[in-house]
């Protein structure tokens, strides 16, 4: 491998690695980005997994946090071909009676569709949506004193609650099911503390910017970030898998977009005994089993809202979803798992040949499980979209071991880079003055194993690079985007 003269090295080109590299390069440093695979992107990759002409998102698919990222919004990514497409229904949540709850951009319309729960939904979500421009930069940051403490305190009173408790505000199956589906993105039992946080953030994101998907596939986000990094003068080297610090060129700072398991393998002997002990105690969460389909037509959801949605949550009632997630966390494989489904080709004609479609779905499984959940996932689809199986013309699956082989950061199939429960929400990966510093001077973590955790937003990379700039180079990162408040009309 060539060893150019650089100031900083970033290992891993997921959204956080790319974000960190851009922040460092913006500060005027000479930055080298190393990627083990021949393609950039980490969880942001798109490929023909089933049949020629059918383009599937290999990992992440729908991107409300990317479109609303305080860091990504400072970058001119549209100049590099990134275009977001926003479905009219952000997420649909069908029920067995043929109806569905629908999350749409308008808060007022979503609340009104929930009938008797309209007042409760407004009371819960209107303050979050209104205050989001003031609290976003603190919610998506390490633990610190907030810029707007009263707004953060109000958000925290709801966000810290278990989703099963907060859902008691609602009386209809529609509102309770919709909220449970949102909270289940936390990938942990809904009775855990803080599971309401991800539900509230996703609902607020829908009411501010929708739940968009990138035209052409998630790879488009990685390609745009990489193009901007190179335009700033950054260097990229692919096909360079780092297994030890000895492989790295000389640099004042090295940032790793990896989780604790990989950091221990790469740099374990150079880390302090206490820090190694903390990393070994780091806990990974549930894994996922993923299926991609090539289809002969659109999914025939019984509820019309399902046929207009970019994302569909398949799990029925709140009680059923809570039971499924609890059982999975206990090491079981539910007969009716909660399924998260995306149907990008309904809104992006680059994903499949004319008249054909793609679909993307996963369910949660015990960490490390290799059980094939294809039949159970397809049964959930048939439950709410009779005739789905007749449309399948191609199929590709990933179990947890295959996902980890594809992306080593997905330890045991955990796509969040570690459990996001209350014990690891702010202290991931270890209890330290800064979660991004390791015990070795100049060595930093910038992955989703650091705050604010999983999701395509780049904020872990931004904050890690900001820490390195201050510590090593006595420089400051560029300021984050400050979103304007929305006018109440139409919301």
More confident residue, 486 or 96: 96
Residue matched to tokens 């903390």: 278
User: Domain 8-38+238-282+417-473 class?
Assistant: alpha beta
Confidence band, pLDDT 50/70/90 cuts, at residue 324: very high
Do 460 and 453 contact (CB within 8 A), yes or no? yes
**Is residue 87 pLDDT above 60, yes or no?**
yes
Confidence band, pLDDT 50/70/90 cuts, at residue 486: low
What are the backbone dihedrals phi and psi of residue 79, each rounded to the nearest 5 degrees, phi first?
-65, -20
Per the structure block, which two tokens stand in for 236?
A: 């990229």
Question: Tell me, what's the pLDDT at 490?
Answer: 40
**Is residue 489 pLDDT above 50, yes or no?**
no
> Hey, which residues does 46 pair with through a beta bridge?
57
**Is residue 1 pLDDT above 50, yes or no?**
no
Question: Tell me, what's the pLDDT at 487?
Answer: 54
**Non-local CB neighbours of 177 within 8 Å, separated by 6+ positions:** 93, 95, 101, 315, 316, 317, 318, 321
Per the structure block, which two tokens stand in for 38?
A: 């021949």
Do 263 and 280 contact (CB within 8 A), yes or no? no
Bond preceding residue 340 cis, omega within 30 of 0: no
**Rounded-to-integer distance, Cα 212 and Cα 87, Å:** 7
Tell me the mean pLDDT in the region 397-402.
Answer: 98
Question: Tell me, what's the pLDDT at 427?
Answer: 83
217: left (phi over 0), alpha (psi -120 to 50) or beta: left
What are the backbone dihedrals phi and psi of residue 276, each rounded to the nearest 5 degrees, phi first?
-60, -40
pLDDT in tens, 406-443: 999 999 999 999 999 988 887 899 999 999 999 999 99
pLDDT in tens, 443-470: 999 999 999 999 999 999 999 999 999 9
Question: Tell me, what's the pLDDT at 488?
Answer: 47
Tell me the mean pLDDT in the region 84-113.
Answer: 98
Tell me the mean pLDDT in the region 280-287.
Answer: 97
Integer angstrom CA distances of residue 466 from 21, 71, 260, 426, 443: 11, 12, 20, 17, 13
**Rounded-to-integer distance, Cα 113 and Cα 86, Å:** 20
Confidence band, pLDDT 50/70/90 cuts, at residue 27: very high
**Non-local CB neighbours of 91 within 8 Å, separated by 6+ positions:** 102, 103, 178, 181, 182, 206, 211, 309, 310, 311, 312, 313
Percent of the chain surpassing pLDDT 70: 98
Question: Tell me, what's the pLDDT at 414?
Answer: 98
Question: Tell me, what's the pLDDT at 74?
Answer: 97
Helix runs in 115-172, H state only: 118-139, 149-159, 163-166
**Is residue 172 pLDDT above 70, yes or no?**
yes
**Non-local CB neighbours of 171 within 8 Å, separated by 6+ positions:** 116, 117, 120
**Rounded-to-integer distance, Cα 353 and Cα 48, Å:** 12
**Rounded-to-integer distance, Cα 84 and Cα 158, Å:** 30
Confidence band, pLDDT 50/70/90 cuts, at residue 483: confident
**Is residue 229 pLDDT above 50, yes or no?**
yes
Per the structure block, which two tokens stand in for 123?
A: 């009371």
**Is residue 491 pLDDT above 50, yes or no?**
no
**Rounded-to-integer distance, Cα 61 and Cα 213, Å:** 7
Point out the least confidently predicted range of 192-196, 371-375, 478-482: 478-482
Do 78 and 422 contact (CB within 8 A), yes or no? no
DSSP letter assigned to residue 11: E
Question: Tell me, what's the pLDDT at 4?
Answer: 55
Do 92 and 340 contact (CB within 8 A), yes or no? no
Following DSSP, what letter does each residue of 43-109 receive, concatenated?
Answer: T--EE--SSTT--EESS----HHHHT-TTGGGS-GGGGT--EE--SEEEEEE-TTS-EEEE-S-HHH
DSSP letter assigned to residue 383: H
pLDDT in tens, 184-218: 999 999 999 999 999 999 999 999 999 999 999 99
Confidence band, pLDDT 50/70/90 cuts, at residue 160: very high
HSE-CB at 415 with a 13 A cutoff on CA atoms is: 26
The residues of the chain that CATH labels 3.50.50.60 are 8-38+238-282+417-473
In 3D, which of 14, 42, 13, 51 has the Cα closest to residue 345? 51
Handedness of CA 256, 63, 342, 183 (dihedral sign): positive
HSE-CB at 189 with a 13 A cutoff on CA atoms is: 11
**How big is the CA angle at 262 (ends 197 and 69), to the nearest 5 degrees?**
35
**Rounded-to-integer distance, Cα 373 and Cα 152, Å:** 40
The helix (H) or strand (E) run that includes residue 245 is none
């Amino acid at each position: 491998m060539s060893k150019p003269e650089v100031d900083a090295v970033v290992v891993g080109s997921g959204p956080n690695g790319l974000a960190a590299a851009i922040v460092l390069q913006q500060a005027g440093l000479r930055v080298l980005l190393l990627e083990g695979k021949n393609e950039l992107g980490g969880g942001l990759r798109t490929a023909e997994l089933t049949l020629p002409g059918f383009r599937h998102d290999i990992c992440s698919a729908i991107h409300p946090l990317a479109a609303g990222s305080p860091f990504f919004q400072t970058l001119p990514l549209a100049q590099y071909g990134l275009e977001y497409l926003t479905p009219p229904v952000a997420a649909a949540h069908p029920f067995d009676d043929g109806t569905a709850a629908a999350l749409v951009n308008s808060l007022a319309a979503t609340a009104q569709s929930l009938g008797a729960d309209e007042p409760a939904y407004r009371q819960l979500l209107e303050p979050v949506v209104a205050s989001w421009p003031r609290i976003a930069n603190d919610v998506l940051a390490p633990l610190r004193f907030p810029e707007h403490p009263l707004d953060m305190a109000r958000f925290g009173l709801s966000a810290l609650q278990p989703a099963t408790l907060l859902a008691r505000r609602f009386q209809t199956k529609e509102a309770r099911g919709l909220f449970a589906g949102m909270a289940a993105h936390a990938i942990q039992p809904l009775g855990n503390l803080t599971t309401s946080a991800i539900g509230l953030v996703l609902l607020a994101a829908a009411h501010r910017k929708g739940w968009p998907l990138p035209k052409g596939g998630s790879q488009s986000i990685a390609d745009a970030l990489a193009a901007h990094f190179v335009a700033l003068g950054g260097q990229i080297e692919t096909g360079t898998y780092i297994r030890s610090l000895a492989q790295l060129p000389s640099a004042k700072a090295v940032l790793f977009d990896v989780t604790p398991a990989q950091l221990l393998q790469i740099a374990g002997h150079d880390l302090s005994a206490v820090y190694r002990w903390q990393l070994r105690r780091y806990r990974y969460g549930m894994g996922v089993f993923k299926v991609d389909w090539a289809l002969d037509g659109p999914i025939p959801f019984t509820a019309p809202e399902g046929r207009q949605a970019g994302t569909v949550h398949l799990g029925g009632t709140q009680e059923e979803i809570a039971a499924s997630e609890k059982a999975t966390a206990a090491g079981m494989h539910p007969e009716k798992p909660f399924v998260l489904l995306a149907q990008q080709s309904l809104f992006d004609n680059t994903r499949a040949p004319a008249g054909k479609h793609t679909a993307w779905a996963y369910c949660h499984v015990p960490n490390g499980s290799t059980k094939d959940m294809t039949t159970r996932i397809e049964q959930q689809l048939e439950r709410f979209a009779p005739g789905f199986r007749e449309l399948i013309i191609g199929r590709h699956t990933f179990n947890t071991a295959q996902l980890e082989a594809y992306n080593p950061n997905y330890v045991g199939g955990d796509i969040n880079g570690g459990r996001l429960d209350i014990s690891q929400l702010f202290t991931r990966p270890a209890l330290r003055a800064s979660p991004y510093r390791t015990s070795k001077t100049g060595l930093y973590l910038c992955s989703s194993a650091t705050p604010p955790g999983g999701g395509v937003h780049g904020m872990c990379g931004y904050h890690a690079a900001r820490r390195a700039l201050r510590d090593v180079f006595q420089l400051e990162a560029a300021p984050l985007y400050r979103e304007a408040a929305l006018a109440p009309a139409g919301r």
